[in-house]
């Protein structure tokens, strides 16, 4: 049960007294042949789950670091189909849950039903689809659930409490709390009310609340995770992997350990 694998990993991390750490990496940045080793490294470093970005030509939520990584992957011919083939071939070699972050267009082009079936067969645990608002999703969540995949929802700073409550009750796996108004990328500071925002989400969400966007230092990891259940780090991970600076990644993960 792939959803259970994700939720079990999240629950186990919290039960151990640690905070959840989910690194984001761009699949195929530097070549798809590197992906299995990158996943293994992150798992051994103590990540709870991995958010695997699918390269796309028009990534509306991504900042310059992740955009550049996507362009590098696309230039190597990386596709959603090829990524799922690698994940399927290496499914028996990993225990860490994999969540795909993809815009809806690659799923639609693939064929929704076939894509979901192939995700499940490849051992994927969940999907984050940032350009699929709840008003437009139709039967898609039910189809995703039929394949035992978690549709992970995003909450934003600009949404009213009523909408945040609706999003929180619909999410599976965890609730992705976006902590900035803008695209992904490193930030020096957060708004003063960030603690209240995350604490409020904790009150309305039946699932763990994990904060992402702009998290780039161990201090920020500790700050944000003090208000919620953990963090997602993207641009800093992508940049560090690209530059071969893995010590930085290990320091970020270590900041979530009790």
Beta bridge partners of 177: 155, 211
Would you call 29 a catalytic residue per the annotation? no
Identify whether the C-beta of residue 226 lies closer than 8 Å to the C-beta of residue 219: no
Would you call 51 a catalytic residue per the annotation? yes
User: One of 51, 136, 229, 250 is an active-site residue; which one?
Assistant: 51
Helix axes 112-121, 80-89, angle to 10 degrees: 30
Identify whether the C-beta of residue 118 lies closer than 8 Å to the C-beta of residue 85: no
Would strands 154-155 and 175-178 be described as parallel, antiparallel, or unpaired?
parallel
Identify whether the C-beta of residue 242 lies closer than 8 Å to the C-beta of residue 30: yes
User: One of 7, 62, 118, 229 is an active-site residue; which one?
Assistant: 62
- Tell me the C-alpha distance between 88 and 203, whole Å: 37
**Catalytic residue numbers, as ranges:** 51, 62
């Amino acid at each position: 049960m792939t959803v259970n694998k994700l939720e079990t990993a999240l629950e186990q991390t919290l039960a151990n007294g640690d905070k959840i750490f989910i690194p984001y990496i761009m699949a195929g940045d530097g070549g798809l042949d590197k992906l299995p080793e990158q996943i293994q490294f992150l798992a051994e470093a103590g990540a709870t789950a991995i958010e695997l970005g699918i390269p796309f030509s028009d990534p509306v939520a991504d900042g310059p670091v992740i955009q550049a990584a996507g362009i590098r992957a696309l230039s190597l011919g990386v596709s959603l189909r090829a990524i799922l083939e690698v994940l399927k071939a290496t499914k028996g070699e990993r225990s860490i849950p994999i969540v795909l972050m993809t815009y809806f267009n690659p799923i639609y082009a693939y064929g929704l039903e076939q894509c979901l079936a192939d995700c499940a067969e490849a051992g994927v645990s969940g999907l984050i689809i940032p350009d699929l608002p709840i008003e437009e999703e139709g039967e898609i969540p039910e189809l995703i659930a039929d394949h035992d995949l978690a549709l992970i929802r995003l909450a934003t700073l600009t949404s009213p409490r009523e909408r945040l409550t609706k999003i929180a009750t619909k999410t599976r796996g965890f609730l992705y709390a976006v902590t900035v108004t803008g695209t992904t990328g490193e930030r020096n500071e957060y708004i003063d009310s960030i603690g209240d925002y995350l604490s409020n989400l904790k009150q309305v969400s039946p699932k763990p609340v994990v904060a992402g966007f702009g998290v780039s230092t161990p201090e920020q990891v500790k700050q944000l995770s003090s208000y919620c259940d953990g963090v997602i780090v993207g641009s800093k991970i992508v940049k560090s992997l690209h530059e071969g600076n893995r010590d930085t990644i290990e320091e970020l993960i270590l900041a979530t350990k009790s």
